[in-house]
Amino acid sequence: MDRWIDFQLLDAGGGEKLEKWGHYILQRPDPQAIWYRPEWKTVDATYVRSPEGGGSWTQNHVPQSWLIRYPSLCGELRFNISLMGFKHTGLFPEQSTNWDFMQKLIAERKERNPAAPIRILNLFAYTGGATLACAAAGATEVVHVDASKRIIGIAKKNVADSKLTDKYIRFIAEDANRFVEREIRRGRVYDGIVLDPPAYGRGPNGELWQFETSIGSLIDNCVRLLSRQAIFLVLNSYTTGLTAGALQSIMNLSVKAKFGGITEGIELILPAKRRDIFLPCGCTGRWQPCN
């Protein structure tokens, strides 16, 4: 269910998408929008690609940052939005379906066993959508791991603006693989793990990440970190050509092979307001126990 208050996909086509973020309308490239589009007359900021690579924003009186709200199952979450490099805004709104999924499972566990601790690990955590969702749902501890100290700074602002500073959230600027390996050596376990890795990237010390060749060993290590009472594992992918079925297969061969349970692969989409179209936004694979 889409409960966004301050975000809408207005339209998409011609390799572009038109979105409303709070009071501001942004136009950004999107290679999945392969159908035609009409002329868009009202735009506050546009990301223009450069022939040499990269690109830049052209904008008209858009503030340096502004807040948008998401009415989650466990309270209102607030996010700082800004015009960032590589066409980003600091949030992937299609992930709200995963926030709902995790909040529901945390709430159900707390209802069955109010005294049981619930420890969550958020890898490639970015500006903290999943971190906020799990903390708001009542997780005992959320460990937020991202390679960028600057991005972690935005995540901390989101926590404060969402009035979640009383929650136990640990922010760690480190390569995800390295952190997971160290947690295994320490004997730590988590009751839920969410991963939102890029298709390609580098850690703070130049560690190379490529989804297709790196995800297998990381998922296997994450399974080693799951407690016997684990309630979810969520894996996202924005890698072009990788399907929901592929992510579900990864879930089946890793976490389901050890714990049993239920897996699913889902294509994430956003419906447009102005036309009868749906914009693909990557895929997610989920695992949860049977009970």
Q: What is the pLDDT of residues 228-246, one digit of tens each?
A: 999 999 999 998 889 999 9
- What would be the CATH architecture of the domain defined by 91-288? 3-Layer(aba) Sandwich (3.40)
**Strand arrangement, sheet containing 232-237:** 169-173, 141-146, 119-123, 192-195, 232-237, 278-288, 262-271
pLDDT score of 46 more than 80:
yes
What phi, psi does 101 have (nearest 5°)? -60, -50
Report H helices in the chain: 96-112, 129-137, 149-161, 176-186, 211-225, 244-251, 257-259
> Could you give the CA distance from residue 66 to residue 5 in angstroms, rounded to a whole number?
14
**Segment 193-241, tens digit of pLDDT:** 999 998 888 777 777 778 888 899 999 999 999 999 999 999 999 988 8
Q: Where are the domains of the chain?
A: 91-288
Banded pLDDT at 1 (limits 50, 70, 90): low
Instruction: Identify the CA nearest to 58 among candidates 44, 37, 42.
Output: 44
Mean pLDDT of 178-206: 92
The structure's pTM equals 0.95
